[in-house]
Structure 1
Amino acid sequence: MKNFSCLLVLLFCGLSAALEDRKSTQDTQFNSTALEDRPKLLESMQARPKLLESMEDRLKLLESQVDQLRKKERTQVIFSAGAGGTGAIGPFKVDTKMTYKSVITNIGRAYNSNTGIFTAPVKGVYYFCYFYHAGGKRKSALSLHKDGRLIVTTSDHKAKDGADNGGNAVTLELNEGDPVYVVMAPNTHVWGERAGHTTFSGFLLSSD
């Protein structure tokens, strides 16, 4: 019986020793692997902030592009106005800015009927046109200006016919805040009526 007990003790001790050796070997292998992979681990940890920063930049760019598309969808600029009045406008001794007081349409409120000036609310390409009716006894001449610079003009000489009609149109690339208006030349005239014989119109074609 004693011999059997001794044998059990020896077997238990041997098993314990074997288990300790195996654990020690595993710990050594783990530590060795961890040491070998440490540079890769550090490199991976260092790359994560850069990756997150890149993703944040892309997200901000996408948000900016979406905001621009929404702004373009919301931006509508359309106006049309008549000279109004009850008869001849002019002649004047100097260049005179036309004030089309009879507003027909003013979506976006870029046209000011008190000054006759259209002010571009956004950068983009715009289309403008203007027409006039006048009596033939005097010369008629209107020109469209952008910020003090003559762009296009239309005119008719004094004649024996009873009436003159004319107009012109143009597309312009404008920056935000650029003014556009119509000017009457000295010693000329046009006809103003509520029926809208003499008009100034424009609208936004595309925005940046």
Structure 2
Amino acid sequence: MNALNLSNVTVKTLQNIPPKVAFSASLLSSFGPQSVGPFHNGLHTLIYEYVFLNIGDAYDTNTGIFTAPVRGAYAFRVFSKAFGSPQRAVTAGLFKNDQHIISTHGHQASGFISSSNGVSLLLEEGDQMKVNLYPGQWIFDDGEHHHSTFSGHLLFPM
């Protein structure tokens, strides 16, 4: 009877386990309603402070930037909320390596307004994803209810 060498099987199996990458964060970590913006000097990268999940540590809470740890297909979602205003809207864009990919946008004269968008992308290792607020626009969050969020996860490596 031949013996099975399990140590080689275990090592080979561990090498084929895909990395686990997922994050979800809300704009504000402090309680109480607050608007961020408007900023008038170009695009403003939003830093989502309240982290629900950051498996793989690919989301940087100091910069608001997600960096792909491996080449693969990723899914991202952006949810934005703001107060209605005749002068400004909520317009935030998802950027890959400083290239615009998708936006959330909403504008109305009064009341709350919400917008969301999502996309799946092929990212190379080291590609960076971030959400930028457009000049003159604003976004709202509340550290208790977490209205404005940025999330992403690895669907599968390539």
Query: TM-score interval w.r.t. the shorter chain?
Result: 0.7 to 0.9
DSSP-derived class of the 1:167 partner = strand
| CA-atom RMSD in angstroms | 1.6
Residue 135 of structure 1 contacts residue 191 of structure 1 at CA under 8 Å; is this kept in 2?
A: yes
Cα deviations by residue, 1:8-48 (Å, 9 ceiling, x for unpaired):
xxxxxxxxxxxxxxxxxxxxxxxxxxxxxxxxxxxxxxxxx
Alpha-carbon separation, structure 1, partners of 2:14 and 2:127: 23
Q: CA deviation at 1:82?
A: 0.3
Residue 72 of structure 1 contacts residue 207 of structure 1 at CA under 8 Å; is this kept in 2?
A: no
Task: Map 1:1-208 onto structure 2 (within 5 A).
Answer: 67=12, 70-84=14-28, 85=30, 86-93=33-40, 94-137=42-85, 138-157=88-107, 159-194=108-143, 195-208=145-158
Higher helix share: 1
Alpha-carbon separation, structure 1, partners of 2:15 and 2:96: 25
DSSP-derived class of the 2:82 partner = strand
Alpha-carbon separation, structure 1, partners of 2:60 and 2:125: 16
Please identify runs of 4+ aligned residues in structure 1 that moved more than 6 A: none
How many residue pairs were aligned?
Answer: 142
Cα deviations by residue, 1:134-159 (Å, 9 ceiling, x for unpaired):
000131101100001000112122x2
DSSP-derived class of the 2:17 partner = helix
Alpha-carbon separation, structure 2, partners of 1:103 and 1:88: 18
| Cα separation, partners in 2 of 1:108 and 1:184, compared to 1, 3 Å | same
DSSP-derived class of the 1:73 partner = coil
| Cα separation, partners in 2 of 1:74 and 1:205, compared to 1, 3 Å | closer
Residue 80 of structure 2 contacts residue 104 of structure 2 at CA under 8 Å; is this kept in 1?
A: no
Residue 78 of structure 2 contacts residue 104 of structure 2 at CA under 8 Å; is this kept in 1?
A: no
Alpha-carbon separation, structure 2, partners of 1:139 and 1:72: 46
Identity %: 37
Q: CA deviation at 1:160?
A: 2.4
Q: CA deviation at 1:72?
A: 4.7
Q: CA deviation at 1:71?
A: 4.1
Cα deviations by residue, 1:44-83 (Å, 9 ceiling, x for unpaired):
xxxxxxxxxxxxxxxxxxx8xx75x634525100100000
Higher strand share: 2
Bigger radius of gyration: 1
